[in-house]
Amino acid sequence: MSVLLLLLHSDFYTLYGDPSGSLFFTYMAFPTTNAQQELPAVNTILQSCGQAPVTTLDQTNPDVAIAYQTLLEVSREVQAEGWTFNKESHYPMTPDTNNEIVIPNNIIQIDPSQNASNVELDVVRRSGKLYDKAHHTFTFTKQIDCDITWLFDWVDIPTPIADFIVSRAASTVSSRIVGDSTQYQMLQQKEAFTRAMAMEYECNQGDYTYFGHPGNTNTYNSYKPYNALYR
């Protein structure tokens, strides 16, 4: 079956690139979460690349599919950096009835908080659960406080961060479906501007300081000589 027929007869597809630079489609579920809220972002991406806006996220339109998939990919990449809106410190993770701690799908990063109760733990993510490498077990007999980076839906992302995501997605889509170097450079300039606005928002929201803050929200881990000695 040709690529065209695959696009016309397949209900679900996405776009990937192989190392040689060629493009191919593969069968995959097409996400529909928050489609109406994400539609303006997809239209902004399409218009930035010189494409016509659409009224629905029509999965049979290859340009729309590429723009939408790229938006989801870039959203995950940007949120994985960790921002004030999606980072949470000392979040309690409680073992289930099997004494295992299952990690929800909307957690991008997880790491035990630095406190006395976690000193003897060396915890990583494995098989969708927390795994203690120090004791070689998935079993936990107590609650573990963790620092978490969440993956939020589009409607919960602050506007400056969302604008940055859309700008980065637009430059990525331009390189994938247009290939115009001049357009790509212009979109990269817009991406740099929106990232600067996102960083300004982050600094204002985070109230960062070298001295840290009381409580569990924004603590600064100063240099500790014994860490170098321990190493």
What are the tens digits of pLDDT across the range 22-37? 433 333 333 445 667 8
pLDDT of residue 1: 41
pTM of the model: 0.76
Residue for token pair 């996102």: 198
Inter-residue contact 115 to 91 (CB < 8 Å):
no
**pLDDT at residue 228 in the model:** 65
- Side chain identity at residue 157, one-letter code: I
The reported pLDDT for the residue numbered 127 is 92
Torsion of CA 68, 73, 76, 79, to 10 degrees: -80
Task: Yes or no: say if 18 and 29 are a contact pair by the CB < 8 Å rule.
Answer: no
Residue 71 Cα distances to 46, 48, 77, 164, 185, angstroms: 11, 13, 10, 11, 19
Taking alpha carbons only, the member of 82, 91, 45, 86 closest to residue 65 is 45
For residue 163, CA distances in Å to 60, 84, 154, 208 come to 26, 16, 11, 22
DSSP state of 102: B
Sites in the chain below the pLDDT cut of 70:
1-35, 116-119, 210-231
Asked if residues 206 and 104 have their Cβ atoms less than 8 Å apart, the reply is no
Residue 40 neighbours by CB distance under 10 Å: 13
Give backbone dihedrals phi and psi of 64, rounded to 5 degrees, phi first. -65, -40
